[in-house]
Amino acid sequence: MEEFKQSLLNIETLGHVDHGKTTLTKALTGIWADRHSESIKRNMTIKLGYADTTIRKCPKCGKYTIEKRCTECNEETEPVIRVAFLDAPGHETLMATAIAGASIIDAALFVIAANEPCPMPQTREHMMIIKLLGIKNVIIVQTKVDIVGREQALKHYQQIKEFIKGSPIENAPIIPVVPTLGINVDKVLERIASIPIPKRDTEADPLMYVVRSFDVNKPGAKIESLSGGVIGGIIVKGKFKKGDDIEIRPGISITNPGKKEKVWKEAVTKIVSMNSGAGELEEAIAGGMIGISTNIDPSFVKADTMVGNLVGKVGKLPEVKRSIKIKYTSINRPDIPNKSFAEGEVLILGIGTATVVAHVAKAKKDMLEVSLNNPVCMDSSSKIAVLRNVASRWKLVGYAALA
């Protein structure tokens, strides 16, 4: 059987920050570079954690694994599907990313730890996100069962059952897992492998959300041997081919000597090559993350500066906006007072993979006109995550759509 070259399913890991998501993802993928440490620093850039893996099955004993040889019977395993796991640091950014990046999420792992009563407030809020976004394919993973003992684990299992009763994920499987010992990791893989691959429009004009960007050259490399900047992203529709002319919007920011405001210019370039975690691609379709090597000067894309951009065919992307009119919907968090917006109030908006500081120019009930510190290029149908400053902390308070 042929190996998969690209992942076909994006799975968001939801769950309370201390509930063991990282350890679980490590067990499911074998890798997990911790990309979270500096996640929200200047510019409030949200960096998505990302790891992909091929789920395999043993033809002899039927066990699901990520190993090329079955750990039970040493038989050579066969690839079933390649999937990608996405994670965001912290609670507020995770929720904001889930809303703003809804178009890239196909399924969710909902991690709930057995050493705390269910639901904890954050768990309740993740359920709200699942309902809001209509995520249908959810697998509940009960973690930390090994530290509470059998009786408490069973009691907690019942609490989860009660919690999901009457919700859209009432029938979601609940799998107790001990990632460090490999207990039931195969069951989670098996469940993931059974999630239907979403039908995506492969004939549409291609559209990719940029999730990261980097310079692959070693410091001090000779000019003639330099490679162009690499952009990593998730294609939501259509397909790209090697050699395609592409446009990136809003593009590259250029400092304008003597002027305070930065200027943005769309970048037009060529796909020099494409890569997924599993190898080089001639063609990339909607699904998990891919990296595109371009002709862009690598200094423009280094250190994730292109995150939040959209990539498409030349002339096919939406126009770039510096101010938007939005219709706001509160998510009514019990811990946050629902007060009206004031003119001049500073907000943080999550739009696709972009995180933008915005100022309220006009506010009339739930209709807001906001000016953006950085321009954005956005798909008109996408949801916008809205964060407000509540007692000196950025809190997700609601979502919005273009009015």
Q: Using CB under 5 A as the criterion, which residues of the chain lie in contact with Zn ion when the complex forms?
A: 58, 60-61, 63, 70, 72-73, 75
CB of 71 to Zn ion, least distance (A): 8
Tell which residue, 324, 327, 320, has the closest CA to residue 341.
Answer: 327
Contact by Cβ (8 Å): 167, 131: yes
Residue among 71 and 332 whose Cβ is closer to Zn ion: 71
The nearer residue to Zn ion, 73 or 254, going by C-beta atoms, is 73
Of the two residues 60 and 265, which places its CB atom closer to Zn ion in the complex?
60
**Minimum CB separation from Zn ion for residue 22, in Å?**
28
Q: Which is nearer to Zn ion, 34 or 72 (CB)?
A: 72
Nearer Cβ to Zn ion, position 75 or 201?
75
Select 74 or 381, whichever has its Cβ closest to Zn ion.
74
Q: What sign does the dihedral 142-147-150-154 (CA atoms) show?
A: negative
Q: How far is the CB of 5 from Zn ion (least distance, A)?
A: 25
Q: Are strands 230-237 and 239-241 parallel, antiparallel or unpaired?
A: unpaired
Q: What are 397's two structure tokens?
A: 């308070």
Got the DSSP string for 194-260? TSPPPP--SSSPPEEEEEEEE--SPTT--GGGPPPPEEEEEEEESEEETT-EEEEEEEEEE--TT-S
Q: How far is the CB of 173 from Zn ion (least distance, A)?
A: 22
The CB-of-59 to Zn ion minimum distance in angstroms stands at 8
- In the complex, minimum distance from the CB of residue 155 to Zn ion, in angstroms, rounded to a whole number: 34
Return the number of other C-beta atoms located less than 10 Å from residue 98's C-beta.
26
Label the pairing between strands 9-15 and 78-87.
Answer: parallel
CA distance linking residue 306 with residue 294, whole number of Å: 13
Angle at the Cα of 61 from the Cα atoms of 278 and 177, rounded to 5 degrees: 70
State the nearest-atom distance from the C-beta of 189 to Zn ion, in Å.
Answer: 13
Q: Which two tokens stand for residue 200?
A: 């995506």
Question: By C-beta, is 3 or 75 nearer to Zn ion?
Answer: 75
Describe the crossing of helices 121-133 and 91-100 by its angle, rounded to 10 degrees.
Answer: 0
Beta bridge partners of 311: 208, 248
